[in-house]
Structure 1
């Protein structure tokens, strides 16, 4: 009978990558959620998920892969937040307005406006316009159909526009 050989924990590969990848993952999340505490929490969730995955699948871990994990953690966060917000307010349908995404906008003001939006709107707009993902990928990440995601994006742009202009639809 052979004695079992000690195998190194595949999660140790993450230790080598951690110092280099931490600023990238944290920066990605902070730029999208705008809240340091939340970005720190999501960063820790990202690395814990990476450890679990490395132990179960043993696949290669790269900074790009970690950003993908962080994106999923951010989407999950927004889903949880939306469920919480939905439980606290009545759901009302917003007016659909033509898409005037023209010109340049101030990044700081845009982040403040995004913070005032509901989590589902913030999630859709961030994935589509900040991450530059196509609508089908946004739909897949949010667990929605493409048609439902297109409708959500229309409503999210209208909500963003209204928050940007301070309530006027001009």
Structure 2
């Protein structure tokens, strides 16, 4: 047998021996972005991420061309009653058959160093990067009128972890 034949046979045997992995089925609903004022240099994006697949996935990164830096953030109590906004480098778990809300005062996308002001009705684009589902591009309308309690409905069980306050951006 030639080296090429051996290599192909080994690849075929490896592929057949590997278990079949179920696909992650990620959907993003009700996205919106906001800034404190139209000329703010920072803003946030919020949405509900649902995994209808049969295995857990994880949002591990986010990119956007609207700002110098785009990061996954959360709010955390520093133990003295003060809320701090922190980057979450490990990302956010999205459980199989469940949802994870990116909400004001909790986990969210942070745009830092906006290249231009954002106005109500503008649309920004961001790419969510998942461990299993890969990249998903989301078109996010700017909504400066949305109330603070977005994403906190009976229909969506949100997994925010512990210690996340609910303070507006």
The two structures have a TM-score, normalised by structure 2, of 0.21
- Determine which structure has the larger helix proportion and give its number: 1
Higher relative contact order (CA 8 A, sep 6+): 2
- Determine which structure has the larger strand proportion and give its number: 2
